[in-house]
Amino acid sequence: MRAPSDLNEKNMNIYYKIWVDCLVRMRSQEINKDSWKRKSMIAMTIAMTYNGMFFMAILQRDILGFSFYWIDFPSLPDREDSLINIFILFVLPIFIINYLLIFRKKRYEKLIEKYPSYNGKLAIPYIVISIMLPTVLLLIFVFIIQ
The predicted-structure confidence for 23-82, as pLDDT tens digits, reads as follows: 999 999 999 989 999 999 999 999 999 999 999 988 988 888 888 888 888 899 999 999
Torsion angle defined by CA atoms of residues 23, 26, 32 and 34, in that order, rounded to the nearest 10 degrees = 10
Which band of pLDDT confidence, cut at 50, 70 and 90, is reported for residue 142? Answer: confident
Closest CA to 108 of 15, 12, 19, 11: 19
Asked if residue 96 belongs to a domain, the reply is yes
Asked if residue 84 belongs to a domain, the reply is yes
Closest CA to 55 of 128, 139, 133: 133
CA–CA separation, 12 and 8 (whole Å): 6
CA–CA separation, 132 and 146 (whole Å): 20
CA–CA separation, 41 and 103 (whole Å): 9
The model's pLDDT over 100-141, given as tens digits with 9 standing for 90+, comes to 999 999 999 999 999 999 999 999 999 999 999 999 988 888
Number of domains the chain contains: 1
Asked if residue 23 belongs to a domain, the reply is no
Asked if residue 62 belongs to a domain, the reply is yes
pLDDT at 75: 93
107 CB burial (10 A radius; 0-12, 13-18, 19+): middle
Owning domain of residue 99: 35-145
Q: What is the pTM of this model?
A: 0.88
CA–CA separation, 100 and 121 (whole Å): 24
Asked if residue 15 belongs to a domain, the reply is no
Asked if residue 51 belongs to a domain, the reply is yes
Coil, strand, or helix at residue 34? Answer: coil
Asked if residue 5 belongs to a domain, the reply is no
The model's pLDDT over 91-110, given as tens digits with 9 standing for 90+, comes to 999 999 999 999 999 999 99
CA–CA separation, 61 and 78 (whole Å): 19
Asked if residue 103 belongs to a domain, the reply is yes
